[in-house]
Amino acid sequence: MNCDAVRRAVRLAGPAGPRWIIYWLGVLSALSTTLLILVVGLICDLLIKRDDPISPTLQRLLGGWAVEGWTDTAWMGGYDTSLLLLIALLTVLAIVEAVLLWALHRQAERASLRVMARLQSLIGQQSARLGARGACEVPPDSAGDLLTNVCDQLRRELSARWTIAPRTLVLLPCLLAIGLAMDFFLALYTLILCVFAYRVYRLYRERIDQRISACNQLAQLRSGALGDRAHTELLFATCHPESKPAAEFEEIAGRYRQPLQEAAMWEATRIPILVLIISLGVGLLALVVGLSSDASMTRVMLLTLLYARGYLPARRLLQVWAKPDRAELAAQKILAFLDCSPVVSLESASRELQGSARPIRFDQVTVHRGGDAGLDSISLEIPPGGRVAWVGDRQANLLLLVDLLLRYGDPDQGRVLVDGLDWREFSLSSIRRGVAFAPRDGHLVTGTFADNLRGGRPGLMLEQLEPIAASCRVLDFIQQTTHGFHTTIGPGGRELAPGIAFRIGLARALAADPWLIVIQEPHAPQDEDTRHQLELAMAAATSGRTSIILASRLNTLRSAEQVFVFYEGRLHKQGEHSQLLKQDALYRHLNYLWFNPYTGKGNASLPTD
């Protein structure tokens, strides 16, 4: 069993509390179970042999304590008193066992929760260190699943191990020792018989599973032929309504049913075979007990109780220890994420970028990414305070340019210059404070409206959020909700209208008061009021600062000072919208595709300024 990743994850999480408490609780609970079984044996012996209080079985159980010559009075004052005292002792031990088991599970859960909490803290720190992998990936892809599902899976597996291992590793030897001490050969024979019966059933069950799987695969293969033949029969019935299903169809259907019937037959043998194995085992055990001159009903009952109490812990221990794949896989996922290195180092530069509009220049920028995304020798310049639009055949390439501006990555070749200085010379924190991105879907998180708006500046008060929300035309909507700014938004803001979600994300970007804002414009709304609200919000967002818009509306292209057209990863053309329409065939073609959908009412006309 390989548990290297699990052990490393636990060590990385630090001490999980005093683990020795878990081990001691496991040992004490195992001992309490052992004593409980001994008391049950005494009660059985007392009930079966009430006329002989000091029976041979009792002498074996008590050893030197069962001295010769004990009388009824010495045997706890007689039958009734002895029975009552043993039942009282049994009740006390049962309560003690239950309390110890509860404490064991509680300590194991608390220890695993502490490990989970520390790993979640490390994952959160790593997420902040790595940052987003792209403008439309916040937080990193795997962090959310690691913080919830993967960490919880590892917690459950650790809790199961710490609960089962210390108790079972003590309980099973104790139960085996009692059985062997009471009747060595009978206990050994019974143990061998149980193991043999279990292995026979496991082998037969594996055989059944293999046959059923083979039958299902064969049925799956034959289902295609049956489906094709059904379509053929349908065609025949359409052309010749009086025709009847051909014999070939019945034959194909029969061949499809054959493996299904065989699989059902094998499935039906599971329970009968199990009952048969148990019956034969009980019969062999009864034969051995009957032929043994020293066997007694007390021993048989006690052995049955020993194996019954030992079966479930042994089974759970085998499940946890023999199949550690889930815990190991969860730990490997967590460690793989924690071992990742950030694309851009937080300490890569110390120069601070002051919050004022500056010229931006891309100088022969080349970026290679997986898939179709990539940039090739991009050179362009954006004046301070300018309002420009980016359009292209692939939105992924435009988002690569956004990634460079937000420093989610650096170009493979070339430079991004601000005021003539390389973008990499400025500290990442000052870049993120001065550059804001408003994605098309808003990238809202679970929390209140105020929480989402404060994403740009966590310290803002409600009085400061209201004018920002008003400028983005969402204040009225927020105030109409049940709790205003304190109303909770669900995951991703999916219950909000797309226009509202975008304008909330836009307000969050404005809350940071950036000198450069990049806006991934949503698609044109259908109703006039929403379009008007969007126009006002965009005008407020781009006023007084450098703005780059990934345009998707014709009005945005018309109002932009410069339109940059990208095609197949290269800068194809730049200029004003009206000028490009007249001079560039590709731009005219793209405009026609974007803004002139076919309506069925005649030919669409080219867009005009």
Convert the pLDDT of each residue in 326-362 to its tens digit.
788 888 888 888 887 766 655 556 677 776 778 899 9
The segment with the largest mean pLDDT, out of 75-84, 101-110, 133-142, is: 101-110
Check residue 139 and give its pLDDT. 44
Half-sphere exposure in the Cβ direction for 292 (13 Å, CA): 18
Q: Give the mean model confidence (pLDDT) for residues 185-211.
A: 81
First-residue to last-residue Cα distance in the chain: 71
Angle at 470 (CA atoms; ends 464, 471), nearest 5 degrees = 100
Amino acid identity of residue 96, one-letter, is V
Q: How confident is the model at residue 548 (pLDDT cuts 50, 70, 90)?
A: very high
CATH architecture of 383-411+427-595: 3-Layer(aba) Sandwich (3.40)
Instruction: Look at residue 287 and tell me whether its pLDDT is greater than 60.
Output: yes
Query: If we measure between CA atoms, which residue out of 558, 561, 551, 563 comes closest to residue 594?
Result: 551
Tens digits of residue pLDDT in 365-397: 998 876 666 888 899 999 988 899 999 888 888
What's this model's pTM, rounded to 2 decimal places? Answer: 0.60
Check residue 446 and give its pLDDT. 77
Return phi, psi of residue 266, to 5°.
-65, -40
CB-CB contact of 454 with 460 (8 Å):
yes
CA–CA separation, 118 vs 12, rounded Å? Answer: 9
Strand 488-489 relative to strand 447-448: parallel, antiparallel, unpaired?
Answer: antiparallel
Helical residues (DSSP H) of 407-496, grouped into ranges: 428-434, 449-453, 462-471, 475-480
CA–CA separation, 256 vs 91, rounded Å? Answer: 60
Q: How confident is the model at residue 609 (pLDDT cuts 50, 70, 90)?
A: very low
104 alpha-carbon distance from chain centroid = 27
For residues 480-510, one letter each, b for 16 or more C-beta atoms within 10 angstroms of the residue's C-beta and e for the rest, the string is eeeeebeeebeeebeebebbbbbbbbbbbbb
Report the DSSP beta bridge partners of residue 279: none
Per-domain boundaries in the chain: 1-183+324-341, 185-293, 383-411+427-595
Percent above pLDDT 70 for the chain: 78
